[in-house]
Amino acid sequence: MSKPLVALLLCLAALALSLSGCEAIDKARMRILGVTVDQPEPETAEWVIKQALLAASDKDEERGWANFQKLLHTSERTTNALRGWYQGNWPRMRHQANLYLDSQGRFVLRDFKVQQNEGIDYFVENKIRDLPTPCSVYIDHNNNNLWRIKRCSL
């Protein structure tokens, strides 16, 4: 696709999104082209998602689970919540991690929504599905204000 065509598509998408300035262009670019996350800064929201995918793809399931738990928001670390993650989301994440990570450990973000209560809903590109998969990362005030996973369907 030519650069002028991409620029036109980005402008049209920005108008359609009814956002202002750079935010509209960035969001439109993300939706159309995606943003590849390679080496995010430690403890950023994107870093947390990457670490979760790396934990899920760890060949040593016990070590992966231990690493993944550290990435969960305090509200997700109750006994019942951890049981739900371990029995539901965790096996699915382990089975599907390769659908999100490429051979260099990168993944592609297709969209995001900023939540009012200090969270971001990211939408991660899946290699075999048309729709990206949501993963919500929130600031954990009970854990040094670090970004941590609250919901994730990877």
Q: The whole model's pTM is what? A: 0.80
- Residue 133 tokens, joined: 């998969």
Q: What is the pLDDT of residues 50-106, one digit of tens each?
A: 999 999 999 999 999 999 999 999 999 999 999 999 999 999 999 999 999 999 999
Query: Using an 8 Å Cβ cutoff, are 149 and 137 in contact?
Result: yes
Predicted confidence (pLDDT) at residue 146 exceeds the cutoff of 60: yes
Minimal CA–CA distance to 137: which of 10, 66, 63, 40? 40
Distance between CA atoms of residues 89 and 80, nearest Å: 13
